[in-house]
């Protein structure tokens, strides 16, 4: 799937996304959603990066911020417990982002020209990312890394619901504002293009973003 023409694009997507996540984390930047409610911007980039950049972008999107935070706070991560929890969190994100990449490419992208169905499908995919992939894995991995941590799925699900709505809503608006040809996954060499009815037609123009 990934060829010489496409490998550099996921690399760029991953580095840019990871750098933005790291910069926002270091600047303690959040998006206000209302009174006493705000969300980080990290999941905006993890979901979009996974959809557009595939596995290569997933790795770099996570590698840049996690390695950056650890290197800049070595005194915190010399203690094994903190390091194990960070690695567990990274593993949960990695697995969930791969789910997004595969579902987006295999199921959602063929509907890219049918905007209403595509946007509804993306909103649901973000829900899958949070509640069927990331959060269950986060609970399992973190509790394996530190059995005394005691995190539970209901706790995460309740506290991250505003973040889910914000991430799903903002990324859906980004897709709505984007031309159809910017919705294609950039980690595969496409030969076919979706038509307005959700079918695949043989009209893909090589080299067109």
Q: Where does residue 23 rank: exposed (0-12), middle (13-18), buried (19+ CB within 10 A)?
A: middle
135 within a domain of the structure (yes/no): yes
Is residue 200 pLDDT above 70, yes or no? no
2 within a domain of the structure (yes/no): no
Look up tokens 């079918």; give the residue: 199
1 within a domain of the structure (yes/no): no
pLDDT on residue 191: 60
Residue among 16, 17, 21, 14 at smallest CA distance from 40: 21
pLDDT on residue 42: 93
Average pLDDT, the chain: 87
Query: Do the Cβ atoms of 22 and 207 come closer than 8 Å?
Result: no
Read off the pTM: 0.86
208 within a domain of the structure (yes/no): no
* Among 12-16, 160-164, 201-205, the range of highest mean pLDDT: 12-16
Q: pLDDT digits over 56-83, tens only?
A: 999 999 999 999 999 998 888 888 889 9
206 within a domain of the structure (yes/no): no
pLDDT on residue 95: 98
* Residue partners of 11: CB distance under 8 A and separation at least 6: 56, 57, 60
How far is residue 118's CA from residue 16's CA, in Å, rounded to a whole number?
A: 25
Is residue 143 pLDDT above 80, yes or no? yes
Pairing verdict, β 200-201 and 193-194: antiparallel
pLDDT on residue 194: 52
- CATH code for the domain in which residue 20 is found: 1.10.1760
124 within a domain of the structure (yes/no): yes
Q: Residues 26, 149, 140, CA angle at the centre, nearest 5°?
A: 90
- Number of structural domains the chain divides into: 1
pLDDT on residue 165: 94
- The four Cα atoms 48, 53, 54, 57 give a dihedral, to 10 degrees, of -100
Q: Which domain holds residue 101?
A: 8-201
Pairing verdict, β 193-194 and 31-34: unpaired
154 within a domain of the structure (yes/no): yes
Ranking 40-49, 141-150, 162-171 by mean pLDDT, the lowest is 141-150
207 within a domain of the structure (yes/no): no
How far is residue 56's CA from residue 64's CA, in Å, rounded to a whole number?
A: 12
pLDDT top residue among 20 and 37: 20
């Amino acid at each position: 799937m990934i060829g010489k023409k496409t490998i550099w694009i996921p690399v760029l997507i991953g580095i840019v996304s990871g750098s933005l996540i790291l910069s926002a984390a270091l600047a303690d930047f959040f998006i206000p959603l209302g009174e006493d409610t705000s969300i980080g911007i990290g999941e905006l980039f993890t979901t979009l990066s996974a959809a557009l950049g595939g596995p290569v972008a997933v790795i770099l999107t996570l590698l840049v911020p996690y390695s950056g935070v650890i290197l800049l706070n070595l005194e915190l991560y010399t203690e094994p417990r903190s390091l194990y929890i960070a690695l567990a969190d990274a593993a949960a994100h990695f697995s969930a982002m791969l789910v997004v990449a595969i579902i987006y490419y295999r199921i959602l992208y063929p509907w890219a020209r049918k905007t209403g169905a595509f946007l509804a499908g993306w909103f649901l995919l973000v829900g899958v990312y949070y509640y069927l992939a990331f959060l269950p894995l986060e609970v399992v991995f973190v509790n394996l890394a530190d059995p005394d941590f005691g995190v539970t799925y209901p706790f995460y699900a309740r506290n991250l619901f505003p973040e889910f709505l914000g991430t799903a809503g903002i990324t859906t608006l980004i897709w709505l504002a984007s031309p159809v040809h910017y919705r294609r996954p950039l980690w595969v060499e496409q030969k076919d293009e979706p038509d307005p009815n959700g079918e695949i037609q043989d009209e893909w123009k090589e080299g067109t973003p």
